[in-house]
A and B are shown apart, each in its own frame.
Chain A
Amino acid sequence: QAGLTQPPSVSRSLRQTATLTCTGNSNNVGNQGAAWLQQHQGQPPKLLSYRNNDRPSGISERLSASRSGNTASLTITGLQPEDEADYYCSAWDTSLSAWVFGGGTRLTVL
């Protein structure tokens, strides 16, 4: 099944800003947006943002999600060492009647 497209890796320096992207089509991201998940090595994923771009309780205000057309973005400001992780986007695809994931972006904080 077709997935969402994410850059495999992004590197930024400590305290800088990183913007991660997730590109789909009008059947998935463009239709109902994308959720964002963070995964540290050896841990289950953690929800960072709902499809409507709201943050769950307890998620840092340094993180913000947005969408423009078929591309969703996750922006993390003031990068900290603990932000180093894999980030995944996910969306419901109305044509596939299935959830699809991006391949994930590994964020490295230098």
Chain B
Amino acid sequence: QVQLVQSGAEVKKPGASVKVSCKASGYTFTSYYVHWVRQAPGQGLEWMGVMTPSGSTIYAQKFQGRVTMTRDTSTSTVYMDLSSLRSEDTAVYYCARDWSYWGQGALVTVSS
């Protein structure tokens, strides 16, 4: 069965970077889009960007220059790296294959 398993919770200081992983299984890794979506406490969903099947990336304008999405096809893992963290980046970060399958989410807390 399709599964997306994300890395664990992180606590970071302002200005630092965080790298969240999303390990896929149960399907052909290079055949589907993998999105990154975040959700601040008590807020709605916010699209950050997507890794396409070919390995290219499309980022939301809001995160351009601060986000980098990469993948390792040998381990079927997609990574999302967010830099220059600020308190407003405190959120649960999700990966999602198309919109059909979602990871469990990774809480990133940015606090001094």
Bitwise interface map of A from 93 to 104 toward B, beta carbon under 8 Å scored 1, else 0: 000111111111
Contact B61 A96 (CB under 8 A): yes
| A78 contacts the other chain (CB 8 A) | no
Which B residues touch A63, using CB under 8 A?
Answer: none
| A47 contacts the other chain (CB 8 A) | yes
A50–B99 Cα gap in the complex (Å)?
8
Measured between C-beta atoms, what is the minimum distance from A86 to chain B in Å? 8
Query: Looking across the interface, which residue of chain A has its beta carbon closest to that of B46?
Result: A101
| A1 contacts the other chain (CB 8 A) | yes
Which A residues touch B77, using CB under 8 A?
Answer: none
Contact A44 B94 (CB under 8 A): yes
B99 contacts which of A90, A97, A104 (Cβ < 8 Å)?
A: A90
Measured between C-beta atoms, what is the minimum distance from A48 to chain B in Å? 10
B20-67 contacts to A, CB under 8 A, are 35, 37, 44-47, 50, 58, 60-62
Measured between C-beta atoms, what is the minimum distance from A22 to chain B in Å? 12
A104–B44 Cα gap in the complex (Å)?
6
Contact B47 A97 (CB under 8 A): no
Bitwise interface map of A from 18 to 56 toward B, beta carbon under 8 Å scored 1, else 0: 000000000000000001010100001111001000001
Query: Looking across the interface, which residue of chain B has its beta carbon closest to that of A93?
Result: B47
A44–B38 Cα gap in the complex (Å)?
11
A88–B37 Cα gap in the complex (Å)?
13
Bitwise interface map of A from 67 to 110 toward B, beta carbon under 8 Å scored 1, else 0: 00000000000000000001010100000111111111000000
| B74 contacts the other chain (CB 8 A) | no
17 A-B residue contacts at CB 8 Å?
A1-B60, A1-B61, A45-B37, A45-B102, A50-B99, A56-B100, A86-B44, A88-B45, A96-B61, A98-B47, A99-B35, A99-B47, A99-B60, A101-B37, A101-B44, A103-B44, A104-B45
